[in-house]
Amino acid sequence: MSEFGRMLRRRRDRVAPGEVGIATGPRRRAAGLRREELARLAGISVDYLTRLEQGRATSPSTQVVEALARALRLSDAERARLFLEAGMPVPGPGVVPTHVAPSVQRMLDRLAGTPVVVYDAAWNLVMANAPFDALMGDTAALHGNDRNAVWRHLVGDGSRARQTPEERAVQVAQLVADLRLTAAKYPDDHQLRRLIGDLHRASPVFDELWATAPDAATADQSRHKIIDHPLVGSIALDCDILVLSADDLRVMVYTAEPGSEGAKQLELAVVVGAQEHLGHTSGAA
């Protein structure tokens, strides 16, 4: 076992499930996080996490190390050590930041019952809580470019949010404009350059938008959305995008007017999602 693997295992044993929003039953034996729980929080497979802990996988990407540090609620000093134990420097200023500061994490923890997703400046999915997964689908199942919102809307399957063709065109244009500004701001990010190359090859629409994107940041906005949930039906919600300028992160929050039909449907979607998750994990050790 490598020192990186030992650090992962030690820290995993120290994190109480309630600290990361995981409900536990009376028969639970593990005091810390199970492997499958940490893997889900970090958006990686259980098999890959097992190989990392056992030292059989020795070259995790920057994104994987960052995701593990975030899922384990590491302090800044612990995060820096995890990068060093992985054999890589802490990401510098020329790379799109994905670190969620402890103060931001505490704020997100207070929204544990509200669907919340966090994206970086390139619109890569950084983290999503359980209510968001219940509403929009399991983000742990997204890998590679599918974790990028620009890719999903231009090449992939999009989202459960209902849109007219005009609304979709406006959203995609705004996302591409944002991505072009981010590429200029973070010239040393190899993953970002690879994503842009993949988009050019996969989408003629991206080619056109990239050439004509305005040189202005997308304005913060609140939008009314209809989410087509496969079990609950159509849910009317408000979606607010909060930009954390110091960390260059985008926090997307879904809410409904208290007492409204949308609020009742959202609550039902979250309950159904929690029940499905418990059903998938009830037999785990």
- The pLDDT confidence band at residue 206, using thresholds 50, 70 and 90, is very high
pLDDT over threshold 90, residue 8: yes
Which residues span the domain enclosing 63? 3-90
Do 208 and 67 share a structural domain? no
Amino acid at 127: M
- On whether residue 95 sits in a domain, the answer given is no
CA distance 282 to 177: 44
* pLDDT recorded at residue 26: 72
Do 155 and 59 share a structural domain? no
* pLDDT recorded at residue 222: 56
Higher pLDDT, 216 or 71: 71
Do 261 and 177 share a structural domain? yes
In tens, the pLDDT along 140-179 reads 888 889 999 999 999 998 999 999 999 999 999 999 999 9
pLDDT over threshold 50, residue 84: yes
Do 131 and 62 share a structural domain? no
pLDDT over threshold 60, residue 121: yes
Question: DSSP string of 199-221?
Answer: HHHH-HHHHHHHHH--SSPPPP-
* pLDDT recorded at residue 282: 43
Are the beta carbons of 73 and 100 closer than 8 angstroms? no
pLDDT over threshold 90, residue 213: no
The residue whose two tokens read 């994107």 is 213
